[in-house]
Amino acid sequence: MSSASAKAQQRAKFEQVFTVIRDELIAHHAGSGMPKEATEWFKQNLDYNVPGGKLNRGLSVVDTVEILKGRTLTDDEYFKSAVLGWCVELLQAFFLVSDDIMDSSVTRRGQPCWFRKEKVGLIAINDSFLLESAIYHLLKKHFRQEKYYVDLLELFHDTSYQTEYGQLLDLITAPEDAVDLDKFSLERHRLIVVYKTAFYSFYLPVALAMRVCNIPSIDGPSDPYAFASSILIPLGTYFQIQDDFLDFSAPPEILGKIGTDIIDNKCSWCINVALAHASPTQRAVLDANYGQKNAESEAKVKEVFEQVGIREKYATYEEGVYKEIISLIETIPSQGSKEGLKREVFKSFLDKIYKRQK
């Protein structure tokens, strides 16, 4: 079987679990005495916003449990791992629905943003709350009897809080309608990325899998969760910097979308590197053109990016961070240890990211 067809099968199996948990959520909603109209709305909210993305975060939970156990999962183990994976996807949906309102976005995943749909509007704010609350209903239903139940609750609560820190920082640093490049810096960019992306996209799926596999926390420097975070947060940062670079450099036909970070006034890695290396003349060009809604201004900004050597600087960064992450991974003994961790958990993430083109 080709890797593409294996991946498609893996996704299809995972999506079957979404149907089960969606139906559980709908049955609970209807069973609470909600009228049919409200239950149908909730179902549309779930179907429209949860299953449509790449599902990388959710699938990572299942993959990591399988790597840590070192064998094929039983049906019950697979189902529980997939439920947690879908809880991560519900968290992602909660963030995206609300983020699109804050950003006044138009499309998401190739379709109109949920709040742009006819009759939805600002009801989408409450819909995002429902997506988040669904996580805790599912955790209670499927994991309340497990000794690690409270650990799961804390992981979701802590990660939500961290991501909201990052969202606040992003919103006050780079509002679309008020460009102020003095607010930008590589350190500000790092903080936004760590809090807004890395915790929920990289640390959360692995930490959930570790809990399911009964890997305990340990007080002190040998805590496996702190060690996992020390690899996964730099990995998540690398992923976002790569995303920022591809938004500028990748042709739309390869990237699958048109890059908009420059016209959207995003506090991206590219603009921060350019600001750090720009001459006064180049800085004046960036100040005059960054975040402007026209192709001419965007082209002038891209010209400065090329002049300061963004492509070379990114290539140097990528090689450096790859070596740094590999060296951290290799501190785990090849047969696995570091209190139950395995190299392959982290290597599988790194292999998906390194040198990707889209």
Catalytic residues: 54, 94, 99, 103, 108, 170, 196, 239, 243-244
Strands (DSSP E) contained in 13-141 are 107-108, 111-112
Residues 226, 228, 229, CA angle at the centre, nearest 5°?
65
Residue 61 buriedness (CB in 10 A; 0-12 / 13-18 / 19+):
buried
Helix and strand numbers (H, E) in the chain are: 15, 2
- Residue 248 near residue 310 (C-beta atoms within 8 A): yes
21's CB contacts (< 8 A; 6+ apart) are 83, 86, 138
Residue 357, phi then psi, degrees to nearest 5: -110, -10
How many whole angstroms separate alpha carbon 224 and alpha carbon 216? Answer: 8
